Amino acid sequence: MSSQPGKTLETFGNPNPERDFHIHMEIPEFTCLCPKTGQPDFATLYLDYIPDQQCVELKSLKLYIWSFRNEGAFHEAVTNRILNDLVAATVPRFMRLTAKFYVRGGIFTNVVAEHRKPGWEPQPLVELTAFEHQSNTR
């Protein structure tokens, strides 16, 4: 049975909801159509999020992303629509979607959209230094 594109985003329960952890995904095959010319636009999407109770299921995400292939959309609109749909499905603590569209007319377009759950604050960044190994040669 072959898979078909669709707008349904499935989720599964966060295996560690007591902890903030970062999920990073790279989606290098995003395509949609230019609403002015009908020509294809290509982008790599970078999805970064900290889940709360739900995580997005990858096959459904793949089929969802595929569903834009024949739709006309401005870069700014489609990036925000995808973020809105992902936030509605997963209700994350934090989510950032970066869309890096390939050059068209000599211009690269990058669109970054973010969601932050009200009241959620990120944990302070922990800086780690590399341990230098010193041999004990005599």
Half-sphere exposure of 111 (CA within 13 A, CB side): 17
The secondary element (H helix, E strand) that includes residue 114 is strand 107-116
User: Given 20, 34, 48, 52, which residue is catalytic?
Assistant: 34
User: Given 20, 32, 41, 55, which residue is catalytic?
Assistant: 41
Residue 32: active-site member:
no
Residue 34: active-site member:
yes
Q: How far is CA 58 from CA 9, 38, 48, 55, 85, in A?
A: 9, 28, 14, 9, 14
User: CA quadruple 85, 90, 96, 100: dihedral positive or negative?
Assistant: negative
The residues annotated as belonging to the active site are 34, 41
